[in-house]
Amino acid sequence: MKSLLTVGLTTIGLFFAGGLFQAHAADAANEIPKGYKLQYQQDFSKKDALKDFVMADPNAWQITQVNGDSCLELVKQSKYQPEVRSPVNLAVIGDRAFGDFILEVNLLSTSREYPHRDMCISFGMKSPKEFYYTHMATAADPHAHNIFIVNNKERQNIATETTKGVNWGTTNDWHKIRIERKVADGTIKVYYDDLTKPVQVAEDKAFAFGYIGFGSFDDTGKINNIKVYAPKMEKKKTEFYKRSE
């Protein structure tokens, strides 16, 4: 009887220890490094929030309400043709450039389910022909669910690690995204819901400081609770795309 009790208590102890380990791992993943501070935050609660952004097509974007909370919504395909093959629908945080950064944001896909159902986040953006982006899609292949570089030619995948894809769920399901970028060693890590293990990893040093944007290659979706932590933010007027009137 005593041995059974000991085994039971040991099992319970291991269970709680495992739970505590997972909790500590999650907390560690959420930590902001020393020297970083919150440089930009946007919850779209103010009517003029769109003025922070430049867009490939402002008519494709609007601020909408979801359960009482405001969000930025891509409601239709942009009337925009990129000079090189790359995402068609992007809304970029204007006049604020980042080098090293940690981005946290909530995304929701309003598209139908299919292998390339996606949402994208661009970063290191210097122009519509020079930037990185993460394409988070249902199924991975050479053109989907990868980290890409657009460098004056058609986008190329550069991820060294990816999962098989992500589950966007229903058109009511929000997902927590975190991107960690370090310019010195070129590392890029993309997290999706589970902030302890990246779904995409890459290394590239082509672009340092640049703008951050949100959208989709050719689907629709919603964006909310943007937070950008960084050691430094460079204020620099964005000379591309269009501003909301």
Torsions phi, psi of 122, nearest 5? -100, 155
- Residues near 83 by beta carbon (within 8 Å), at least 6 away in sequence: 128, 129
Collapsed DSSP state (helix, strand, coil) of residue 214: strand
Determine the Cα–Cα distance for residues 219 and 111; give it in Å rounded to an integer: 6
Determine the Cα–Cα distance for residues 83 and 64; give it in Å rounded to an integer: 30
User: What's the pLDDT score for residue 41?
Assistant: 98
User: What's the pLDDT score for residue 181?
Assistant: 99
The count of C-alpha atoms lying within 13 angstroms of the C-alpha of 3, restricted to the half-sphere facing its C-beta, is 0
Long-range contacts of 63-67 (CB under 8 A, 24+ apart): 64/222, 66/108, 66/222, 66/224
User: What's the pLDDT score for residue 17?
Assistant: 44
| CB neighbourhood size of 40 (10 A) | 17
Torsions phi, psi of 134, nearest 5? -100, 130
Q: If we measure between CA atoms, which residue out of 161, 200, 162, 202 comes closest to residue 182?
A: 202
Q: Would you say 224 and 174 are in contact if contact means Cβ atoms under 8 Å apart?
A: yes
H-helix or E-strand spanning residue 185: none
User: What's the pLDDT score for residue 30?
Assistant: 66
pLDDT average per 10 residues of sequence, the chain (245 residues): 44 44 48 94 95 97 92 97 94 98 98 97 98 98 97 97 98 98 98 97 97 97 98 96 88
What is the dotted CATH code of the domain comprising 35-238? 2.60.120.560
How far CA 71 is from CA of 20, 44, 74, 161, 176, in Å, comes to: 34, 6, 10, 31, 14
User: What's the pLDDT score for residue 244?
Assistant: 84
- Rama region for 145: left / alpha / beta (φ>0; ψ in -120 to 50; rest): left
Q: If we measure between CA atoms, which residue out of 76, 46, 42 comes closest to residue 59?
A: 76
Query: Any idea where the domains of the chain sit in the sequence?
Result: 1-31, 35-238
